[in-house]
Every structure is written in structure tokens, then in C-alpha cells.
Structure 1
């Protein structure tokens, strides 16, 4: 990690609360690096981060930490921390396109309860990247209306061993094979996916650990491991 935006991304992926991260001006630093790590190969986000403020922001900080100025040190360090947090947010925003903003808006709506209390509660079961996948597919749903395709895409990305079958000859029915044991958390995740992407006209049959039998498909025809359809 060399830039503050790199550290912020790492912190968010690790679930670190950015309010617990404090930026301080580095006392000893390299002129070729923005972050001053004791260990150059550090990958963990520490609570106190030393920053070389002159690497990219010389015009902002050149007069703030004059070596001859020993007054109001605490105030200047607090101001430094606030400004670096603000600059880090700007760094992140500059790398976002219009679509990524829309994805953030959808996630904010889900977390604030616009989609309902069940969605807000169940969304917390997913990791950050999984939440972005869900929000991205919601945006695609608004654009295309391809609910069944996006249901399948979301299902496979959340449950890698899953398969979706459509039975539309006699009725609108979807058969969902999840490919793992039925547990409370997995069931809650599946309920969120179905609530967001399942078209109203479809009925569903859900198979967790055992697949229903399909002729000539060997892995579905395991003795004592076949679910009934």
C-alpha cells in the first residue's frame, strides 16, 4: 500500500471502521512514498497511519507543519487527520463512474430500509463485494427487466455450486439446487435473492444438499442421495 486511497479500500474490505483510523504526519518518511510503513510489505490496516503530506499535497500542507512552529500542535494534528480523511474520500470518488454511483445509491437505500426491514437485515449477512454484486444486478434489472437471468447470475455467484432449472411446459416453475447443507444463514441469503429477483408468476422448489435425479447425469443419480421432485 502506497496511497491513502489504497489503504481506505483495504480498510473497507476488511470491515475496518474508518472512524477508528487516525492519520498523522510522518516524522521520518521517504520522498517517494505517501504512506510511511514500518514494514514496507504491510497488508494490515493499522489504527494510526503515518502520511507523508508533501508527496501529493504539498500546496495544502506546506505551511501547516513548519519545523519552527511549535504552537497548537494538537489542533494542527486534528486538522491534518480531518483533511486527509476528506482527501481520501475524494480519491475514491475520482475513480468512480456514473454506474458505480448508482450502485452506491442502491446499497444506501437497502441499508436505510427503503427496500424493507427484511432486506436490510439480511443484507448484513453478505460481504461487501457480495453486496455490490447484488446492487449491480439490481441496477441491471432496472435496465433490462431480465429477472430470471439475473436471479441465476446472483444465485451462482453467492452459491458457486448452485444450478437453476426452469420448467415452463405446464406451469411457470423454477427448480433451485443450492449444492450445500441447509443452514439458517444460507437460507436467509437465499430468501433475500428470491425476494429481489424472483418474478411473481414463478413457483419455486428448492433443493439443498441432494439433487433431484436426472437420467444420464451421473452426479444426480447417486444412491441414497437423490431428492424427489
Structure 2
């Protein structure tokens, strides 16, 4: 898929961990009249921080006087004005493409950032990618609507940790056993702690196993020597 629009580029940049303010738009020296972005390689999917743009593709009426050939002064100012204005226009593009659910997700993430749900949630949400943050925020909204804590903690974990298994054990006490087929890193621990904080039902305890599954009788895959955790 070829990126052609400024909003398209900013979305991909955020998904790769850039801030929108890290992207700088410049007037392209050579550009196609049929494309908004003017990368050197047309099929490139690499996000560059300095991006050449054809601002006349959609915004001729706005920029037609900004870079006239006889304007030779204040070039740095005009370049900065182009960058600021294109960022503003790209944000308008993105807002117009949002539906009601996506607005609610943005409001929820803003509340997390503003410490509405506590310091633990505010600090540990930074360990999630942008897409993962949206998964968490969406399920928080669903939690308000349905109150289905047990279902939503399992759904969130499975969407964040693709290779995980969750077992509900309630004979003696309400307990979740979580197995994650990943290494126990600080980032992964932060993710689990945030999900527990938001979704774990009151009265439940969750035991987490990393990398090695605990043994289950008659399940050969979980009973391999040197690759088994004790429960």
C-alpha cells in the first residue's frame, strides 16, 4: 500500500513510535501533480522524519501565494508556516474520519494520561503500543457498558499477548492462571499489571507463568523436562 496523504503518513508514523511533532513537512523540489507526498521511492513504506510534500494537490487555494518564484526572503519562516499548517490540516483530516467509538477511545486515553485512573495506570500505559492502548481503552468502555470483568480481562490479555492461555480455577478460591509464552521483561510485566489493575474482578487472584507452562497431567506438551513450571 502506497502512502499518498499527509494524514496517512502521520498515522503510520505514530504506529512506528514517532510523535507527530517529530515529522516535518517541506515543499518538494520536484513533485507529481497527482500525489500529495513526494518520496524519492514511490513504494517506500519507511517513515522519514523530513517529508517532501506537494501542498497544491489538495490545498492550492491555501498555499498558492506562499512560494511564489519572486519570493526570495523569509524562506525559513515560510517553510515553518507550511509545516505547521499541514499538521493542522492533517489533524482535521483525521478528525473527519473518526466515528463515535473512536472519539470515546481518545477521551478514555486522555483520562488515563490525566491520572483519572491512578498513577499505576497512567505510568504503565506507556509500555503499550498505540494499537494496544486502543485495545485497552475500548475494553474499558465495554467494561462500563457490560460489567463483564472476567470476560474482558481474558479478551484484553489475548489481544495483547497472542500466545497466552488463561485458566479459571474456583474450587477453593477464585483464581486465574495465566500462561504467557514470552520472556518476563519489564515491559511485559507492566502490561500485565495494568490489565490486572483495571479488569481483574474483586476477590480474584491471578498467578502469572512466563515462558514455561505449568504441568498438566495427560497433556504431553506441558510435561517436558526442563521446560515446565511448578504450580
- The alignment's TM-score, normalised by the length of structure 1, stands at 0.89
Matching residue of 1:215? 217
Displacement of 1:212? 3.3
Matching residue of 2:200? 198
Coordinate RMSD, CA, aligned: 2.0
Instruction: Pick the aligned partner of 2:70 from 68, 71, 76.
Output: 68
Matching residue of 1:180? 182
Residues 110, 224 of structure 1: alpha-carbon distance in 2 compared, 3 angstrom cutoff: same
Deviation track 1:125-183 (CA, whole Å, cap 9, x = no partner) reads: 12221111111111111111111111111112222221111123443222222233434
How far apart, CA to CA, are the structure 2 residues paired with 1:225 and 1:51?
54
Displacement of 1:224? 5.1
Matched, 1:77 2:79: yes
Displacement of 1:71? 4.5
Residues 227, 38 of structure 1: alpha-carbon distance in 2 compared, 3 angstrom cutoff: closer
Displacement of 1:48? 2.2
How far apart, CA to CA, are the structure 2 residues paired with 1:185 and 1:71?
49
- Range moving further from structure 2, 78-87 or 14-23: 14-23
Displacement of 1:88? 0.9
Matching residue of 2:126? 124
- The alignment's TM-score, normalised by the length of structure 2, stands at 0.89
How far apart, CA to CA, are the structure 2 residues paired with 1:77 and 1:207?
53
Residues 130, 67 of structure 1: alpha-carbon distance in 2 compared, 3 angstrom cutoff: same
2:26 is paired with a residue of what secondary structure? strand
Matching residue of 1:47? 49
How far apart, CA to CA, are the structure 2 residues paired with 1:210 and 1:20?
40
Matching residue of 1:33? 35
Segments of structure 1 that go 5 or more residues without pairing to the other structure are none
How far apart, CA to CA, are the structure 1 residues paired with 2:212 and 2:98?
42
2:191 is paired with a residue of what secondary structure? helix
Matching residue of 1:115? 117
Matching residue of 1:101? 103
How far apart, CA to CA, are the structure 2 residues paired with 1:171 and 1:72?
72
Number of equivalenced pairs? 229
Matching residue of 1:157? 159
Deviation track 1:44-99 (CA, whole Å, cap 9, x = no partner) reads: 22232221111111121222223334444333322222111100111111111111
How far apart, CA to CA, are the structure 1 residues paired with 2:147 and 2:155?
14
- Range moving further from structure 2, 158-167 or 210-219: 210-219
